[in-house]
Homo-oligomer: A and B are copies of this chain.
Amino acid sequence: MNPISLSVARRALAWLVLSSGGALAASSAHTGELLFGLFWVVLAAALLGTLASKVGIPAVVGQVLAGILIGPSLLNLVRPGDFFLTLAELGAIFLLFMVGLETRFKELLAVGREALLVAVLGIALPLGLGFGFGLWQGQGNVSALFVGTALVATSVGITAKVLQELGVLDARFAQVILGAAVIDDILGLTLLAVVSSLGAGRTLSAVQVGLTLALSVGFVALVLAVGIPLVRRFQNRLSNLSLSRAFNVAVVVGLGIAALSTVAGLAPIIGAFLAGMVLAEIKDEVEFESKVHAIEAFLAPVFFVVVGLQLDVGALSQPTVIVAGLILTVLAVAGKLLGGILGAWSLGRHEATLVGLGMVPRGEVGLIVASLGLGVGIIGERVYAEVLLMVLLTTVLAPLVLRAVMRRRVPARVLH
A residues adjacent to B (C-beta < 8 A): 1-9, 11-13, 15-16, 18-20, 22, 24, 27, 29, 31-32, 34-36, 38-39, 42-43, 46, 50, 72, 79-80, 82-83, 85-87, 89-90, 93, 189, 192-194, 196-197, 199-200, 202, 204, 208, 211-212, 244-245, 247-249, 251-252, 255-256, 258-259, 262-263, 265, 267-268, 290-295, 297-298, 306, 310, 312, 364, 367-369, 371-372, 374-376, 384
CB contact under 8 A between A19 and B259, given known A6-B82, A46-B252: no
Give the shortest distance, in Å, between A119 (CB) and chain B (any CB): 19
A85 to B276, CA, bound (A): 27
A6 to B83, CA, bound (A): 10
13 A-B interface contacts by CB (under 8 A): A2-B374, A2-B384, A3-B79, A4-B367, A6-B82, A19-B196, A24-B263, A39-B252, A39-B255, A39-B256, A87-B87, A247-B294, A293-B294
Chain A at the B interface: mostly helix, strand, loop or mixed? Answer: helix
Q: Given the complex, which residues of B lie within 8 Å of A197, measured CB to CB?
A: 16, 19-20
Select from chain B the residue with minimum beta-carbon distance to A49. Answer: B248
A50 to B50, CA, bound (A): 39
CB contact under 8 A between A372 and B208, given known A83-B82, A86-B31, A252-B46: no
Give the shortest distance, in Å, between A203 (CB) and chain B (any CB): 9
CB contact under 8 A between A200 and B16, given known A5-B310, A374-B2: yes
A107 to B396, CA, bound (A): 49
A79 to B197, CA, bound (A): 32
